[in-house]
Structure 1
Amino acid sequence: MDTFNPDTPIATVVDLGFANFTVVTRDDGTVIASSFDSVEKMAAGRPYVMGEVPGPALPALESWLKGDFAPLMEVPVQYSGTPKLVQLRQELRNVPAGTVVTYKQLAEQAGLPTLPRLAGRACSTNPCLLFVPCHRVVSTAHIGPPVIPGQYAGSTEFKAKILAHEGVEVGTETREDYSGF
């Protein structure tokens, strides 16, 4: 916790109905981090203040909860990582709600067709969950229908709920359960 100055991030916790979701912004409203983790865990000793975050993040989350998914992709985010990780994370924001892509497809769409594993890393280390929708990426074996959610920073259960909320047909079994072997 820190006393407010213009450089101190502002954090708030939003109830999504199935989990609490933490959003951290700069004072200009740019999302610098969002997660299902607690503010304390996200801050990891760095200063922040609790309060209502400025800008469009909270109204966009409210719209998302009501089924209007587009405003979430209009919220400014601070991208971090290497140039290629940033390129992949920017491309994630072009994956429409209600659809999923594979890591290979994400890499191809980002102009990095030989780097599907890096697409996986861009998702697994994504600091801005929901605002940079890594939940819309699944492994080739899980593409469906129904989509098998797979790993997610929040949890497989959270990923399934988020995808279903966005209109994706989500299965609960593993792909092996569908194979007949």
Structure 2
Amino acid sequence: MTQGESERAKLAMSCALDLSTLLLGRELTSTRHTNMDAQRDNKRFKSIIETLSRYFVGERVEFTDIPIDLSNCRPFQRDVLNITRQIPYGEVRTYKWIAEYLGKPKASRQVGQALARNPVAIIIPCHRVIGSDGNLTGYGLGLSMKRQLLTMEGSFSHNR
């Protein structure tokens, strides 16, 4: 296993752990969590882990059908995350593009701040958002990981 593959495997596990509470908007240990809920959640969680595994070996997958509760996010952040979630595999958008899409052309910095608090990296692909000049900027998991993910998806030019 290469260092890049090892880093991606660690990221996959981190994503899986984050998802355990975000998928349904409640703690899995909730007192109202029934056995039937647990069985359904377990199947859903296994499916997501399988999808993440396929993603991290380079298979083109989409995560848009995974339910994620963003009710704890402020409205602007929720809007940014929902738009970012729609960025297709292998494509990138700029912070400015997202701001303009939201009708707030001067809010590029606020878009970056909203993405910095992304609760589920990869599932909401904030790594697909780059600077207006085409450079890689800001990524909580490091620019090296952002570069690896974009390269794996075929949307990164080493000239950036």
- Using structure 2 for the length normalisation, give the TM-score: 0.71
How far apart are the structure 1 equivalents of 2:24 and 2:106?
Answer: 30
Q: Unaligned stretches of 5+ in structure 2?
A: 30-40
Q: In structure 1, the residue corresponding to 2:100 is in which secondary structure?
A: helix
Pairing 1:162–2:149 present = yes
Out of 107, 118, 124, which is 1:115 matched to?
A: 107
Q: Unaligned stretches of 5+ in structure 1?
A: 1-14, 33-46, 176-181
Pairing 1:18–2:4 present = no
Out of 54, 64, 74, which is 2:65 matched to?
A: 74
Retained in 2: the 8 A contact 1:149–1:160?
Answer: yes
How far apart are the structure 1 equivalents of 2:158 and 2:24?
Answer: 31
Other-structure match for 1:6? none
- Figure out how many residues of one structure are paired with residues of the other and give that number: 136
Other-structure match for 1:30? 23
Please report how far the alpha carbon of residue 26 of structure 1 lies from its aligned counterpart in structure 2 after TM superposition.
Answer: 4.2
How far apart are the structure 2 equivalents of 1:68 and 1:77?
Answer: 22
How far apart are the structure 2 equivalents of 1:108 and 1:69?
Answer: 28
Identity, % of aligned pairs?
A: 23
Listed as ranges, the matches of 1:72-111 within 5 Å are: 72-79=63-70, 80-111=72-103
Retained in 2: the 8 A contact 1:135–1:152?
Answer: yes
Query: RMSD in angstroms over aligned alpha carbons?
Result: 2.9
- Using structure 1 for the length normalisation, give the TM-score: 0.63
Pairing 1:61–2:48 present = no
Other-structure match for 1:152? 139
User: Judging changes above 3 Å, is the alpha-carbon distance between structure 1 residues 101 and 26 closer, same or farther for their aligned structure 2 residues?
Assistant: same
Task: Report which structure shows greater RCO (CA 8 Å, sep ≥6).
Answer: 2
Q: Which runs of 4+ in 1 moved over 3 A?
A: 66-71, 110-114
